[in-house]
Chain A
């Protein structure tokens, strides 16, 4: 058996997308099981890939043998090739696992919706694109997947295209916002790709990054003189990542993306797609290692995004928006990890985050489902008794995301904070403090959502309370499986001070194959790369205990404010801290700035261009059209219906042809 089996991961969801799309009319809600079956199939294939890996770890890293020349222009060709290595396997694992759970869940969530086939067609297409992104062996393949997930996200956000979202914008608008913001990021990404092609002559990851590959060759030729190339490429690619992974300044689309059905939010906007940026940065870690400046910028942006998003999350009332901002915030952590050179830890956090954030969103979906599309937390409360499974899984995931020992988030987040603390940068300690503050806020707003939603008294209408019931098994079983993941995934990355069990399994696994490539290159060619201090295990333990205390502090605060003294204390706090509350509630006014400032400016420019277009370009084009139409009107007269007239034209044509042949103009 060889790696060709990995193609099944692409083909199964693709086939499912086609079946759901074409035969949805006949299959109706059965499309859900077709799509779920395909997804479980990818999970099985991923398991087989792991099996192959364990049997023969040398023979199973590399190109998938099957591939073809995709585009050939002159001497340059792009191949449709796929690549499997440590990073791919980790990504495949959680995408197929969390994906399968979300697909199963969606069968329950979408039950009774007439658009189900369309939903599952898009959903399967999304899975195809995501797998393509992960499996692609070169930038263009990654980019197709990248655009594909963006397109599907756009289609799915606008799924309820005729509904209003948020009172201010419609779902279709939210989809457009996501699409346009991502275009800005993609522009950077494309430019970065062009730079790579121009300077290194290939777009294939392996050809670029391997020992003695294109980058090494470039370094050998130019030494450190051309260091700016790496900074430029790294930053351009990072612009792409800020678009897809919702970082400052392009994060505004993700909270609005919550307009889609909840399973979409869970899979696309929490667990998989938004992590594409982190994946891409980790995949291209070489460029970052070779440019400490770019890494510093990545770290700063990551830390700031984590902080800002968390501060916004504190005041939001829509349960999905709270989760959306927490996603943005967690993504910030991941980029912070990348920025301090801990790429493998970033992927570790991606991995654990997929479980607990997927679970949180699905729980929120379960709640929204039970309350008939009520998303405002101030109208919830007391659901604990009616929806025990949802409550416990939500609680476990909240413990995980807040970084409470021993849940998964504790280990990954602590590892990020530790690496930030250790990094040899002037601002390293500042970043660490921002990270700790974010952890405090995270615990606070997440437990706030727990208390508002599940504790206290129900604050909605009597009628809604009558209909509240636990979701069916098809929805709760995925929740339980994901909660188990949120509890245990941390075992894959136990810290150094942890006794008895093997430590750092997942980070070491990645470092061995992918994420230290850049560091090796930097050492080899004497470039300055970001360094980290070393400290004793007991100090590490001390830091871990400290961050645990911070998280528990956030929890306690939330308990005090939202469980003990609700609603009096929050009201009082809001009135006393009005400016801060306003800042957070209004998303730091950034959204407004984008809408008024950026969009307004662009609209003015657009109107200007439109005027030119209408008056000059259209004139020329329409003129040409009119001339052609007139000519067509005349020529049409040749068509007079008389068969013998046509015979005359045949004779005329024959004579003309003959004339040319004989007199050989």
Chain B
């Protein structure tokens, strides 16, 4: 077998974060902490934006035919969908990195380590989103996860941070083991680890292939925090530094959904799915929607509430994935893929804002919800940003959250699992209780006396302002989405 011929420019979008990440790590080694605290975030944000530009320049015309990397040995497939997902990951990462200096201020975190690992985990997510080969998927997932394990526990003086890292590590590697064990069985029966090859046929014989698919699904479902694999999420989000929680809630989920969607589209083409697979997905989706929304109702801490809300949103998204797997579904999956990518963008933006407000305000605002009382008086801009994102999370117009939810539900309603959509709609109405409760707290209640004000920084204002503007703009003119993508 000969070495694949490497076309360097094609790898540019992935090389930039790699070089950026290692560069930031090295820069930190050779410079004093003060200058690296200033330079590292700037470098990291620039890296993400550069990679974003490179991505859309290099893969400008994948809408016609997807690009395979490397061409002779295609472990990565950059279709329009996966390109957009990678773009969403990079956009979210850039925004979170802009929010990070404020988010990790005063927490005894070394800048180079934080930003370097952040970039490497983003690289892992980008590659994971594009991968269509199981070993590659496993390695990229591990690249993303290993960096994140460290990032969660990076706040050395904080016991919560360490505990969160420990828990996420144990459960995360447990789930990865399922993934790779499933991959082994897949290999044994399909005789390949590639998901996209036309020359192989998955032989549906006996139960082994189903076990393989099920195990892989379990590995991914854990990363996507789908119920009942979600239990780590509230604790880890609560314990981790807030920008890292946000990365966990956005980047890794976008990557996971991208892989799942691409894999299902391919498997459908092989006729390798039956109704059981779809039912399993529907069941996970419903469990996530119900558990996420119900438990979110009784949460008292902001990050735990956002964790449960993100579980619920994973459920809504999985309904979009169900469309791809539905056996009865005919025609091209393009509409469903578009719906999913719109939702992923919406989901990323609104989580960036809600976690971002918590991290920008810092301190007690990362803890109890009751601290948000009267925020509209003391920090009107933050309150406005959080309100916009909460309205978007609820799925009300005129926000992009409404558009995303509308598209996904409309697609899912075309399948025979319309009852699941009905349940999701009911619970998404229920979610207004806890989302708008925060809005009410901020605008209607009085602040406790003596609560200290928080200094605003321009970087936070810009990142939150941009995300908020995007949420509203794309909500008002969803046509822009298709024009941009």
Task: Please report A residues at the B interface, Cβ cutoff 8 Å.
Answer: 18, 22, 25-26, 68-72, 79-80, 624-625, 628-629, 631-633, 635-636, 638-639, 641, 643, 645-647, 649-650, 652-654, 656-658, 660-665
Contacts and interface: CB of A to CB of B under 8 A. Distances in A.
Contacts, number: 131
A69 B235 CA distance: 43
Nearest to B284: A657
Contacts of B227: 653
B297 A628 contact: yes
Contacts of A647: 170-171, 174
B366 to A, nearest CB: 19
Contacts of A658: 210-211, 214-215
Contacts of B235: 639, 641
Contacts of A22: 461, 465
Contacts of A643: 166-167, 170-171, 232
Contact of A661 (B214, B290, B295, B433): B214
Given A646-B171, A649-B231, A650-B222, A662 B296 contact: no
Given A639-B235, A647-B170, A80 B297 contact: no
Interface in B132-191: 166-167, 170-171, 174-175, 178
A633 B232 contact: no
Given A647-B170, A650-B171, A661 B479 contact: no
A631 B294 contact: yes
Contacts of A633: 298
A-B pairs with the 3 shortest C-beta distances? Answer: A664-B276, A632-B294, A660-B280
Interface string B105-149: 000000000000000000000000000000000000000000000
B30 interface: no
B402 to A, nearest CB: 12
Interface of B: 166-167, 170-171, 174-175, 178, 207, 210-211, 213-215, 217-218, 221-222, 227-229, 231-232, 234-235, 274-277, 279-280, 283-284, 290-291, 293-298, 427, 430, 433, 456, 458, 461, 465, 469, 477-480, 482-483
Contacts of B274: 664
Given A628-B433, A650-B222, A656-B228, 17 more contacts: A22-B461, A69-B483, A632-B294, A632-B296, A635-B294, A643-B167, A643-B170, A646-B232, A649-B228, A650-B174, A650-B218, A650-B228, A653-B218, A656-B280, A658-B215, A661-B276, A663-B276
A636 to B, nearest CB: 5
A625 B228 contact: no
Contact of B178 (A629, A638, A641, A654): A654
A636 B295 contact: yes
Given A632-B298, A639-B231, A665-B279, A657 B214 contact: yes
A654 B430 contact: no
Contact of B297 (A632, A638, A661): A632
B155 to A, nearest CB: 19
Contact of A649 (B229, B427, B482): B229
Contacts of A645: 231
A346 B465 CA distance: 43
A95 to B, nearest CB: 22
Contacts of A660: 276-277, 279-280, 283
Contacts of B433: 625, 628
B478 A653 contact: no
B338 to A, nearest CB: 11
B430 A661 contact: no
B297 A665 contact: no
A26 B277 CA distance: 56
- Chain B CB within 10 Å, residue with most, of A625, A653, A656: A653
- Chain A CB within 10 Å, residue with most, of B167, B280, B284, B483: B280
B141 to A, nearest CB: 16
Nearest to B296: A632
A478 to B, nearest CB: 32
Nearest to B213: A661
A650 B229 contact: yes
Contacts of A641: 235
B424 to A, nearest CB: 14
A653 B281 CA distance: 12
A661 B211 contact: yes
B295 A635 contact: yes
A653 B231 CA distance: 12
Nearest to B212: A661
